[in-house]
Amino acid sequence: MNDAHQEEQSLFEQQHKVVQKNIPYYDLKWNSVENPATKSTWNWLAFFFSTLWLAYRKMYKPFFIIAGLQLLWAVPFYFMDLTVWLDLPFYGIISIIVGLFGNRWYFNHTNHVLKQARALPEILQDSFIQAKGGTHVGIMLGLHALLFALFFAMDFGLSFIPTETNIKNVVRISGEADTLEAYMDNPKWTYIKQDGRQHVVEFTGYDYTEKEDVRIVFYVYFDKYMYEWNQIYINEKKLNEEDSIDYELYIEENSW
What stretch of H or E contains 226?
Answer: strand 226-234
The larger pLDDT score, comparing residue 1 to residue 254, is at 254
* Domain termination site, one of 123, 143, 158: 158
Which residues constitute the domain of residue 148?
2-158
Q: Judge contact between 69 and 61, C-beta under 8 A.
A: no
Structure confidence at residue 13 as a pLDDT band (50, 70, 90): confident
Say yes or no: 176 and 59 in one domain: no
Percent of the chain at pLDDT above 70?
96
pLDDT (average), residues 161-167? 97
164-172 and 175-183 helices, crossing angle to 10°:
80
Say yes or no: 198 and 237 in one domain: yes
pLDDT value at residue 135: 96
pLDDT digits (tens, 9 = 90+) for 129-149: 999 999 999 999 999 999 999
Sign of CA dihedral 16, 17, 22, 26: negative
Tell me the whole-structure pTM to 2 decimals: 0.86
The identity of residue 213, as a single letter, is D
pLDDT (average), residues 141-169? 96
Q: What are the phi and psi torsion angles at 229 (to 5°)?
A: -70, 140
Say yes or no: 186 and 108 in one domain: no
pLDDT digits (tens, 9 = 90+) for 181-197: 999 999 999 999 999 99
Say yes or no: 154 and 188 in one domain: no
Number of domains in the chain: 2
Label each residue of 144-172 as H, E or C. HHHHHHHHHHHHHHHCCCCCHHHHHHHHH
Say yes or no: 136 and 14 in one domain: yes
* Domain termination site, one of 141, 158, 175: 158
| Nearest Cα residue to 132 out of 14, 16, 18 | 18
Say yes or no: 147 and 188 in one domain: no
Beta-strand ranges (E) seen in 23-92 are none
Sign of CA dihedral 241, 210, 202, 166: positive
Cα separation, 154 vs 173, whole angstroms: 18
Say yes or no: 172 and 152 in one domain: no
Cα separation, 131 vs 139, whole angstroms: 12
The identity of residue 34, as a single letter, is E
Say yes or no: 151 and 213 in one domain: no
pLDDT (average), residues 217-240? 96
Q: Judge contact between 227 and 197, C-beta under 8 A.
A: no
pLDDT value at residue 11: 66
pLDDT of 112 strictly over 70: yes
Say yes or no: 168 and 144 in one domain: no
* Domain termination site, one of 158, 182, 203: 158
| Nearest Cα residue to 161 out of 221, 222, 71, 84 | 222
